[in-house]
Amino acid sequence: MEQIECDEMKEPLQRTKFFNNYKHQRHSQAYEELKKHADVFEFAELLNIHLFVNEKGAQFKAVVEYAPSQRVPKPCSRNDSREGTIFKDSDYLEFLKVIAKPAENLPSSEIQLEKKKAELSGFARNIYYYEKLALKYKVPNKNLTSPVTCDPWKQYHQQESAKLRQQIQMSLNSNMHLMGDSLSSLTVKELKQLENRLERGITRIRSKKVIN
């Protein structure tokens, strides 16, 4: 409700505002409460067929008529206990903190493109490395007619493994002469376990050299 003071009327006028929908133009209605009959005639003389112009320049004429119902709704006398409590609400206060923070601008499209290219190039290098590693340790197919390329590192490790097997076999034959008392005291099963450990150690060294 707003108080409107008119010079030609003796008492202030109470009215209710109604707003138009600009997408669909319709006539607005306002119900006014007048205390005296003389004010009714003065109000009709002032606003009946009065021309209103909106911001787009469209003109509308006002029509003053009696309301179909003479009853006036009474204002609500009961106070709402929730009124004003939003300013103490934790979620609302957290929301205010979030919108008060400065906006984080995203990097430009050029920077994002360079970053994406760098990621793709790194991904391509990884694919090339894994393909090379897979080809290196791939078991050759006997049905293929194409020759299999030899890897010098693979040949080296095979030679080292053969040397270790030969040394273990010599230790079994010569006992203390080549490998000492501690190795000659081992059983055949323990020597086989030692051979497996040495094989795993060679595999680890070979994998580290390939990665480097």
pLDDT tens track for 147-164? 444 455 666 667 777 777
Closest CA to 179 of 194, 189, 162: 194
Q: Which of 22-26, 53-57, 128-132 has the highest mean pLDDT?
A: 53-57
Q: What percent of the chain has pLDDT over 90?
A: 4
Q: Return the domain boundaries, the chain.
A: 29-70
Least confident range from 84-88, 90-94, 201-205: namely 201-205
pLDDT at 94 over 90: yes
In b/e form, how buried is each residue of 137-158, taking b as 16+ CB within 10 angstroms? eeeeeeeeeeeeeeeeeeeebe
Chain position carrying tokens 């209710």: 16
In degrees, rounded to 5, the angle at the alpha carbon of residue 11 between the alpha carbons of residues 47 and 20 is 40
pLDDT at 179 over 50: no
Cα distances from 104 to residues 56, 95, 126, in angstroms, run: 38, 16, 33
Residue 57: what residue type?
G
Q: What are the pLDDT digits (tens) for 36-72?
A: 888 888 888 888 888 888 888 888 888 888 877 777 7
What is the Cα–Cα distance from 194 to 201, expressed in whole angstroms? Answer: 11
